[in-house]
A and B are shown apart, each in its own frame.
Chain A
């Protein structure tokens, strides 16, 4: 079998599509965690986004409205999490897990009459000039808008945390909630907004699955992507730009091993499938040991409950 029958252009183009939803969900979760909140409900918000987007897309026959609907759906679900953890001060880990279970169940209920329906396809924008460039054009400039949005949002998150005052406030709240509070920043409000933003990203990630990538509604269709997004945030060491690398490595391995199999290269499928997880574990070990040159910025108040005492 000839390895040259894998077209690198198509390979890269499809790994970008395949990585987009975990990249979006991870970007949202990174913003949430930067504010000091650990929301393990990504999977639940994704699946709610997937079904809300699907319903709206089918009812209004507009994929764009569908994508907006999916983001709203994810944000709505995350409001429950925000209420429970920020105002009722419940344990974030337990609430996040509950959010996932609740989201999966609610999505099945909502989607009951939507199985087997074909949504209208999301048109791909025709980018003049750029998409006509040989090789690079086909590889990078013939995607749908969500692929570009995911990249832009990562860069925007980087810009937010590195260059803006708002980003600094969010980071301060996440690093040391007491100090931020003492400085006069509203910790709860900042976190609620971060949770909502994270929820809409997760919802959009789910909507991308049900509207573009698969495209159909099937119960439980996220199949663990939310957990991969959570692992990706840890892998990135809470640095936005590393999310792109992590997501594309993950998507790349998946796509590459499928393509290698399709052309008949013999390889250990099981080994390749677990590579991304192994990389995450290694990254975790390096981060937690404090050794190596893995710079990291785990938010200091991550997962801590904030109580206004003073």
Chain B
């Protein structure tokens, strides 16, 4: 029975593919965790989708599904996309990892691209940006700009990507200001402006005067603006949301990668790869400084950014101990990508525990 069903699915898939082939050479689907108008994470991915449309015109047709929850529902959405003739699917959130692998196994002819994950298959590539490099730079700015020595950090889910960001920001802030302390709040959502605002308020109530966020909406920045503290743009520049509060920003730029991968699919040269680009190729970029950032701090931040992009500086350079005091990196040693990609521990000096 199940076999029959699978056959039927494949058959329907072929029908759809052939029907779609008349319209464009390649049909590309994007799966978003939030709305394209979040002015953060999903917004930037949607900019990438638009860049693909501009670059290829009629040769490529793109579609997207927004607000797709991570988990079983994502599997349904991607199966639907594969069945309706998509040749390539970009799944743009970490939580789509297992659904992507499952759906990819059923549709070997569809090419999958999964953002920020680490599971690959013959038709599944992964890609991510080294956001932690950007966080080193803004962490430095945070350390220099805080007057209360308390930096508030709004974290989404306890996944390696987020933990890595906290660690790199903390190490840079600590190097810039030995008295700095991080207060971390986990909100267990990527996108909930009201809850993100509540978290920012709670952190400010607890003395934080610089807010860093690893969620998708600009609402922490808006709250910072209203309460007269500092914050950063996250994923997108976000300057307009807090002109007096925004010290700087990390910008995700997916356009070149998306165009390159779609081109490869069109040329027939696409194969499963693992891409992890940082400040140097510009997949993670930095926005301009806020006016309140003093000249010396800007110069130091620029020097850090240039050093990282040039490969002279690594965000994780020893000596670094783990939170429990056990040594992780020796003097001068830098972290390997394997450890970074599965990072599930805080470095020494961060208080609290990573929720399980």
Which A residues are within 8 Å of any B CB, using their own CB? 1, 5-7, 10, 14, 18, 21, 108, 111-112, 115-118, 121, 209, 213-216, 218-225, 254-255, 258-259, 261-264, 266, 268-270, 273
Residue interface bits B227-259, CB-to-A below 8 A is 1, else 0 = 000000000001011000000000000000000
Set of chain B residues within 8 Å of A220, measured between Cβ atoms? 34-35, 37-38, 67, 191
Q: Which of B184, B195, B201, B222 contacts A216 (CB 8 A)?
A: B222
Q: How far is the CB of A160 from chain B (nearest CB, A)?
A: 29
A149 to B111, CA, bound (A): 54
Given contacts A111-B37, A219-B36, A220-B38, 17 further A-B contacts (CB under 8 A): A10-B205, A115-B37, A116-B39, A117-B240, A118-B225, A118-B240, A214-B193, A215-B222, A216-B193, A216-B241, A218-B37, A218-B38, A218-B218, A255-B198, A259-B202, A261-B352, A262-B203
Set of chain B residues within 8 Å of A225, measured between Cβ atoms? 194
Centre residue among A1, A111, A216 by max chain B CB count within 10 A: A216
Which B residues are within 8 Å of any A CB, using their own CB? 34-39, 67, 152, 183-189, 191-195, 197-199, 201-203, 205-206, 208, 217-219, 222-223, 225-226, 238, 240-241, 351-353, 355
Q: How far is the CB of B50 from chain A (nearest CB, A)?
A: 14
Closest 9 CB pairs of A and B: A219-B37, A219-B35, A116-B240, A258-B202, A223-B192, A262-B206, A261-B185, A220-B35, A221-B193
- Is A258 a contact of B39 with CB atoms below 8 Å? no
Q: How far is the CB of B258 from chain A (nearest CB, A)?
A: 21
Set of chain B residues within 8 Å of A117, measured between Cβ atoms? 240
Q: Which of B34, B205, B240, B351 contacts A264 (CB 8 A)?
A: B351
- Is A266 a contact of B353 with CB atoms below 8 Å? yes
- Is B195 a contact of A223 with CB atoms below 8 Å? yes
- Is A214 a contact of B219 with CB atoms below 8 Å? yes
Set of chain A residues within 8 Å of B240, measured between Cβ atoms? 116-118
- Is B217 a contact of A218 with CB atoms below 8 Å? yes
* 21 residue pairs bridging A and B, Cβ less than 8 Å apart: A18-B198, A121-B226, A209-B194, A213-B194, A215-B222, A215-B226, A216-B218, A218-B219, A219-B37, A219-B38, A220-B35, A223-B192, A225-B194, A255-B198, A258-B187, A258-B198, A258-B199, A258-B202, A261-B186, A262-B183, A264-B183
Residue of A nearest to B225 (CB): A118
When A258-B202, A269-B355 are in contact, do A214 and B188 touch as well, CB less than 8 Å? no
Set of chain B residues within 8 Å of A216, measured between Cβ atoms? 193, 218-219, 222, 241
Q: How far is the CB of A263 from chain B (nearest CB, A)?
A: 6
Set of chain B residues within 8 Å of A18, measured between Cβ atoms? 194, 198
Q: How far is the CB of B311 from chain A (nearest CB, A)?
A: 35
A213 to B183, CA, bound (A): 22
A270 to B218, CA, bound (A): 24
Set of chain A residues within 8 Å of B203, measured between Cβ atoms? 262
A135 to B201, CA, bound (A): 19
A222 to B193, CA, bound (A): 8
A224 to B202, CA, bound (A): 21
When A116-B240, A215-B226 are in contact, do A258 and B219 touch as well, CB less than 8 Å? no
- Is B152 a contact of A262 with CB atoms below 8 Å? yes
Q: How far is the CB of A53 from chain B (nearest CB, A)?
A: 15
When A116-B240, A220-B67 are in contact, do A270 and B355 touch as well, CB less than 8 Å? yes
- Is A223 a contact of B191 with CB atoms below 8 Å? yes
Set of chain B residues within 8 Å of A111, measured between Cβ atoms? 37
Q: How far is the CB of A8 from chain B (nearest CB, A)?
A: 11
A18 to B223, CA, bound (A): 14
Set of chain A residues within 8 Å of B39, measured between Cβ atoms? 115-116, 218
A214 to B185, CA, bound (A): 18
A209 to B222, CA, bound (A): 13
Set of chain A residues within 8 Å of B187, measured between Cβ atoms? 258
Residue of B nearest to A262 (CB): B206
Q: How far is the CB of B75 from chain A (nearest CB, A)?
A: 21
